Every structure is written in C-alpha cells, then in structure tokens.
Amino acid sequence: MEKDAVYEVFQKGLTNVNGECYLAKAAEVGATLAKIFQAKETTSVSVVESELFREVGVVKALQQAGITVHTDHFRKYSPDDKGGVTEADYGIANLGSIVQLKDDIDCRIVEIASDVYVGVIKLSRILDDFDAMIDVMAATKPFPRFAGVITGPSRTADIECVGTVGVHGPRQYSVIVVEDR
C-alpha cells in the first residue's frame, strides 16, 4: 500500500474503535500533543521519552503549554497523571492499532494507567495488516518480554453485561502518525 493509503486505512480503523487520529510532521508532534491534552483538559502527563521526542522537543512544548510533565518515576506519577504519551514500535493499518515490543515496563505503565493516552507512530512503521505484524514478530530476535497490541480505548462488558469504557486502561485514546522526512 502507498503511504497515503496506509494512513487513510489506519485512520479509518482507529476511528472505528472510537480512537482519534492525527497526522503531523515530526516538528509538530509537541504542539499536536499539547492541543490534544488541552482539548481534553489534561494538565499533567507522563511521557516516556524516545529519541524522536527528545529531537523535536516534546517535553518543552508540553511545558510551554502549561502542562506538568513527568519523564521518570512512572509508578509514582502515572496513576495521578491524567495523560500519557509513548512512541509505538509498529502500527497495523487495517485495525488502527499500535504495537509495543518492549522489555521496558515504563511504556506499559503509562499506556494503561493514563486516562487520556496518546501513542505516536512513524508512518513508515505502519504495516498493512496483522499477518504482516505476525511476520515481523516472528523475525524479532530476541523476542521482548512484552508484546502488546493497543486498539482503541479500554472497554469491557463483563460488569453485568453492560459495556463500559476505561475500566482496564485509557478512556480516551489518540494516535499521532508522524510523516516520514
């Protein structure tokens, strides 16, 4: 699939599961995050810094927008921070999902403890479908201790068969797809 088509399929898959999708250039990631969190009245966030986040000044952009940012001690801060941001390893276009293949527990804490979670994924890291993701996972050596596929806000229907959002993870879920340079 061409990159424009990959983004359109990813966006459709994500919105089908009540997620929000944004397309941004790398330099716009910090401003886009600030806009998302301000719109959701989120004033404190945990950010698992990545090379991309440091390069484009994500923490500084959030702080300039008046948002408190924690970049460490996630076990302490994430439960009280209403927002969380991590960079995903892969995306799955037809599902609108992001995929984490990590040994680091910090990403998992931020992804599930946040009320408002934003994943950031590079467009070039979005695969067409789950079969392509399985092929990547099978070739990953050594395989990490954690592999997670995140598809939309947390939802369950196990409480008296009533659908509930946000019980086991974020109630609001967004993804910023970063255009490749």
Q: For residue range 100-153, list pLDDT tens digits in order.
A: 998 888 888 888 888 899 999 999 999 999 999 999 999 999 988 888 888 865
Q: What is the CATH number of the domain that holds 148?
A: 3.40.50.10420
Q: Is 70 exceeded by the pLDDT of residue 168?
A: no
Number of domains in the chain: 1
Q: What is the pLDDT of residue 51?
A: 96
> 166: pLDDT confidence band, cut at 50, 70 and 90?
very low
Tell how far CA 141 is from the center of its chain: 24
CB proximity list for 74: less than 8 A, separation 6 or greater: 46, 48, 106, 109, 110, 113
How far is the C-alpha of 93 from the C-alpha of 104, rounded, in Å? 25
Domain of 125 in residue numbering reads as 3-178
Q: What is the pLDDT of residue 102?
A: 86
User: β-strand 83-87 against 44-47: which pairing, if any?
Assistant: parallel
Q: For the segment 13-67, what is each residue's pLDDT rounded down to a tens digit?
A: 999 888 999 999 999 999 999 999 999 999 999 999 999 999 999 999 999 999 9
Inter-CA distances, 83 with 33, 106, 118, 158, Å: 10, 14, 8, 25
- This prediction's pTM: 0.89
Complete DSSP assignment for 70-119: E-S-HHHHTTT-SEEEEE-SEEEGGGTEEEEEES-HHHHHHHHH-SEEEE
